[in-house]
Structure 1
Amino acid sequence: MAITTLRAVVVLDCPEPGRLADFYARLLGGKVEGEGRWVEVTFDSGVLKDRTLAFQEAPGHVPPSWPSAERSQQFHLDLYVPREELDAAEREALELGAELLEGDDGGKRDFRVYRDPAGHPFCLCAD
């Protein structure tokens, strides 16, 4: 029997929770709820339905450095898109404020690595 339930899919520390929540809401198609030191993104459909992605204010937040053993990423998000939409998804992610860290080696790999506006790494993966 489970002792607890998992309410938030992930909680990201960041300097500006509202700004980062807006980035992920636009990227993933969610809805921003709340303001201030704790902001959530909720989803009405898809695999994230009834799940929450939360953002917590962390004064002095130092983003991970990817790749680095000294300031390792700790975790990252893999976000899947149909292979034929990968370039379009990348353009949209970059327009929203993502930064490309590592491409897919000319299509040899099934993922590309990015940094979100607060510095957390995430991947766009070909589905």
Structure 2
Amino acid sequence: MSLETDRWSRHNFWGVVIDAPDVAVLARFYAQLRGWSIHRQDADWAALDAGEGVGYIAIQRNPDYVRPTWPSRPGAQQMMLHLDFEVTDLDAEVDRAVRLGATVADVQPQDDVRVLLDPAGHPFCLYTS
């Protein structure tokens, strides 16, 4: 049995599932952003493989998806969560994320963190420690 088969035959995975209007666009974005592979994908679902550990990110199609606002405003669509990714070179990784389709948010509350919006509008953070 290969290591990949061993990994995906486990039964202790946990993950985060993100709604999006277009599964392929968001799956490709996060796979390229993190250097992960897309384990499984169809028009309604994709699972991203970090290559180690037991966590994953999945994307599910939601035709009624509404982009959240950042920062939040009363009465506007709220974000349900955001993803944080540690990086070693913040400026270089922000530039790369933008080239992949992210947008830098107008509001930046910390010096060592950059809030970006993925192609579907979900806020996510790149940070250094």
Q: TM-score, normalised by structure 2?
A: 0.81
What residue is the counterpart of 1:23 in the other structure? 29
> Shift in Å at residue 73 of structure 1?
1.4
SS class of match (1:53): strand
What residue is the counterpart of 1:76 in the other structure? 82
Q: Tell me whether 95-104 or 116-125 shows the greater mean CA deviation.
A: 95-104
1:34 aligns with 2:41: yes
CA contact (8 A) 1:43 1:52 kept: yes
Alignment of 1:56-75 (within 5 A): 56-69=60-73, 70-75=76-81
- Which of 88, 106, 111 is equivalent to 1:109? 111
The list of structure 1 runs, each at least 4 consecutive aligned residues, that deviate by more than 6 angstroms after superposition, is: none
> Shift in Å at residue 110 of structure 1?
1.5
Cα distance in 2 between the residues matched to 1:68 and 1:34: 31
Cα gap change, 1:104/1:55 in structure 2, threshold over 3 Å: closer, same or farther? same
Q: TM-score, normalised by structure 1?
A: 0.82
Report the identity percentage.
37
Question: Please, which runs of 5 or more residues in structure 2 have no aligned partner?
Answer: 1-10
- Which of 90, 97, 103 is equivalent to 2:94? 90
What residue is the counterpart of 2:123 in the other structure? 121
Offset from partner CA, 1:46-83 (integer Å, 9 cap, x none): xxx3422100000021010111233221211111112x
Cα distance in 2 between the residues matched to 1:121 and 1:73: 8
Letter in 2 for 1:111: V
- Which of 7, 18, 22 is equivalent to 2:13? 7
In the alignment of these two chains, the number of paired residues is: 116
Cα distance in 1 between the residues matched to 2:98 and 2:24: 18
What residue is the counterpart of 2:56 in the other structure? 52
